[in-house]
Homo-oligomer: A and B are copies of this chain.
């Protein structure tokens, strides 16, 4: 039996090499002539990966990041460097103050270490022109990561675990993050080390930076094995199935995204409410999550509560209400448009007529007839006398354009004035006989978005509001049979 075991052990390196090759072959983007940068911690996983990669044809270099969290970390780093140099590999050593960084950024030690380590690896990879950073996470690491995500709360993207091939990734748009050992168990890695006389520098049971993960590895997983001895493999298989499912859903999201998106600008993304609402809730959630991820690419996990609050806003009947999503973002429904935005972002107003601002003040402007006035974002108001009364009457009766109107000029005082609304402003729209309505109420009724009401131009003759552009003209200046002179007002959009 021990002889049989010897044979197996001798075969392991061959099998593992073959598996590594078959994994790498799945990614045709990998170029045999471009180099790989290996993250070399000095633990058994990374030593085995070093040994396997040296047997392949890719140009290879290695990098080690000294987290400086233990006294002996410098000595260890030196030994890791010696291993790389003994194999004639270019070696890069990085060092950072993880503790200080964790305090500065209010991060756990683990998270701070991770960020500094990967930043170093990717900056080195860029420097040496490597096509990929290769790290040695195993199937055991995968299972631990998934459990960690589950314990902390996650969705499918967390439960599917890490990807073997990741581009773009958190660190780069063009350098691949490669984890070729995700299908290989730590047990096989340890055997490989023994069989090939690889001597790990660091004790993997002593990863001082990952207290949470250590408890998970040394306490939780053995405990879970008392429920099911094959629990690691069960979780690993689950992750594999979920990865396929997640890919399917992401395809679906990509397909619907181009329909759902309305506009993307600095600090905001807007979506079509009607298109979102026709999707099943799972897809609404993923589309909203995608919008949030565009505004917060750094945020590793867009939280469940953030997305659910957003979904709740979409469900509500009322438009015009803001919902705070946390992390400095809000969601706001305006007619058919859903705005997801930073609190500081200025939402575009170019879809509506707005008076110009000068040193923070809204500009009143005279409008001569004929004549024209410039508004914000390239909008213009034109006024003209229309000689052909019959045509004017016909056009007015058939008009569908809310930004054009015709007024009986009898009683109009020239020049007209374009000004913002004032408190107490009232208006009697065409058809509302004998009474008037507050302009502010009218704007609410007509669903003019709140944020553009203040600078909305009113056309005034003396004290009388003769037109609220976008709405009907004043009843008093409607065209009558006896009308003998007509003024045509038109808002031109850019």
Contact with B along A224-247 (1 / 0, CB 8 A): 100110110111011011111111
Contact A304 B152 (CB under 8 A): no
Q: How far is the CA of A44 from the CA of B313 in the complex (A)?
A: 35
By a CB distance below 8 angstroms, the chain B residues around A281 are: 244, 247
Pick the interface stretch among A85-93, A134-142, A164-172, A248-256: A248-256
Is A156 within 8 A of B153, CB to CB? Answer: no
**Contacts of A304 on B, CB cut-off 8 Å?**
237-238, 240-241
Q: Does B151 contact A224, Cβ atoms closer than 8 Å?
A: yes
Which positions 267-296 of chain A face chain B at CB distance < 8 Å? 280-283, 285-286
A242 touches B155 (CB 8 A): yes
A153→B242 CA distance, assembly (Å): 12
Interface range on chain A (Cβ under 8 Å from partner): 35 or more
Q: How far is the CB of A433 from chain B (nearest CB, A)?
A: 44
List the B side residues contacting A483 at CB < 8 Å: none
Whether A280 lies near B251 (C-beta < 8 A) is yes
Residue A202 interfacial (CB < 8 Å)? no
Name A282's contact: one of B216, B220, B248 (CB within 8 Å). B248
Structural contact, A156 and B241, CB atoms closer than 8 A: yes
From residue 138 to 162 of chain A, which have CB atoms closer than 8 A to chain B?
Answer: 150-156, 159
User: A218 within 8 Å of B by Cβ?
Assistant: no
**Alpha-carbon distance between A240 and B304 when the two chains are bound, in angstroms:** 10
Knowing A244-B280, A247-B282 touch, does A238 contact B153 (C-beta < 8 A)?
A: yes
Q: Indicate if A223 sits at the interface (CB-CB under 8 A).
A: yes
Q: Are A159's CB and B238's CB within 8 A? A: yes
Contact yes or no, A150 B249, CB < 8 A: no
Tell me if A27 is interfacial: C-beta within 8 Å of chain B: no
Bound CA–CA A35/B145 (angstroms): 47
Of the candidates A215, A238, A247, the one having the most CB atoms from chain B within 10 angstroms of its own CB is A238
Whether A212 sits at the interface, judged by CB under 8 Å, is yes
| CB neighbours of A282 from chain B (8 A) | 241, 243-248
> Which residues of B have CB within 8 Å of A234?
150-154
Across-interface contacts of A244 in B (CB, < 8 A): 280-283, 285
Q: Would A215 and B237 count as touching, CB distance under 8 A?
A: no
Chain B residues, CB < 8 A from A248? 249, 252, 280, 282-283
A30→B233 CA distance, assembly (Å): 42
Instruction: Given A156-B242, A249-B249, A280-B248, check contact A231 B285 (CB 8 Å).
Output: no
- Bound: A395/B164 CA distance, A: 58
Residues in chain B near residue A212, CB distance under 8 A: 227
For A146, the closest partner residue in chain B by CB is B150
Give A42 Cβ to nearest chain B Cβ, in Å. 28
- Measured in the bound complex, the distance between the Cα atoms of B226 and A151 in whole Å is 10
What residues on B are CB-neighbors of A285 within 8 Å? Answer: 241, 244
Please state if B245 and A249 are interface contacts (CB–CB under 8 Å): yes
**In angstroms, how far is the closest chain B Cβ from the Cβ of A478?**
48
A150 to B286: give the CA distance in the assembly, Å: 23
Q: With a CB–CB cut-off of 8 A, which chain B residues contact A233?
A: 153
A378: shortest Cβ distance to chain B, in Å? 42
Let me know if B151 and A238 touch, CB within 8 A: no
Docked complex Cα distance between A152 and B233 (Å):
10
Binary interface profile of A, 22-56, with partner B (CB < 8 Å = 1, else 0)?
00000000000000000000000000000000000
When distances are taken between beta carbons in the complex, the residues of chain B under 8 Å from A280 are: 244, 247-248, 251
Q: Which residue of B lies closest to A233 (CB)?
A: B153
**Which residue of B has the minimal Cβ distance to A244?**
B282
* A284 to chain B: closest residue by CB: B244
Convert A91-105 into 0s and 1s, putting 1 for each residue whose CB lies closer than 8 angstroms to a CB of B. 000000000000000
Complex Cα–Cα for A235 and B280 (A):
22
- B156 x A237 contact (CB < 8 A): no
A245 to chain B, nearest CB (A): 5
Alpha-carbon distance between A124 and B217 when the two chains are bound, in angstroms: 48
Residue of B nearest to A281 (CB): B244
Which chain B positions have C-beta within 8 A of A246?
A: 282
Contact yes or no, B150 A238, CB < 8 A: yes
Least Cβ–Cβ distance between A156 and chain B, in angstroms: 5
A-B CB contact pairs (8 Å), 30 listed: A150-B150, A150-B234, A151-B224, A152-B234, A153-B228, A153-B234, A154-B234, A155-B238, A155-B242, A156-B241, A156-B242, A156-B245, A159-B238, A159-B242, A215-B227, A216-B227, A220-B223, A238-B304, A240-B304, A241-B282, A243-B282, A244-B282, A244-B285, A245-B245, A246-B282, A247-B281, A247-B282, A249-B249, A251-B280, A252-B252
* Known A150-B238, A151-B228, A248-B283; further 5 A-B contacts with Cβ < 8 A: A153-B234, A244-B280, A245-B282, A248-B252, A252-B252
